Chain A
Amino acid sequence: MGHDGHDILAKHGELKEMPYRIPDGYFESLDMRIHERISAEKVRRPLLRRILSKAWPYISAAAAIAVTVTTGILLTGHPGSDTVEKFDYGFYLANDLIPVTDPESIYLSYNNVASDTLSDEDIVNYLIESGIEPEEFTTE
Chain B
Amino acid sequence: MPTDAEIMSLYRSGDTEKAFSALTEAYRERLYWHIRRFTCSHEDTDDLLQDTFVKIWTGLPGFREDARLFTWIYRIATNEALNFLRKKKTRGLIGKEPLENILWKQVDEDPYFNGNALQRELHKAIQTLPPRQKAVFNMRYFDGLSYNDISDILGISPGALKASYHHAYMKIRDRLEKIF
Residues of A within 8 A of B (CB): 1-3, 7-9, 12, 14-23, 26-27, 30-31, 33-35, 37-38, 41, 120, 123-124, 127-128, 133-134, 137-138
Contacts and interface: CB of A to CB of B under 8 A. Distances in A.
B122 A20 contact: no
Interface string B81-96: 0010011011101110
The 6 closest A-B pairs by CB, nearest first: A19-B115, A19-B119, A134-B89, A34-B53, A21-B112, A20-B112
Q: Is the interface of A mostly helix, strand, loop or mixed?
A: helix
Given A31-B24, A123-B94, A134-B93, A8 B114 contact: no
Contact of B119 (A1, A14, A127, A134): A14
Contact of B141 (A3, A7, A9, A123): A9
A20 B93 contact: no
B115 A14 contact: yes
Interface in B139-174: 141-142, 169, 172-173
Nearest to A31: B24
A129 to B, nearest CB: 11
Given A20-B114, A27-B29, A2 B50 contact: no
A15 B20 CA distance: 33
Contacts of B26: none
B32 interface: yes
A125 to B, nearest CB: 8
8 contacts: A8-B177, A18-B37, A19-B123, A20-B36, A23-B112, A30-B49, A134-B89, A138-B93
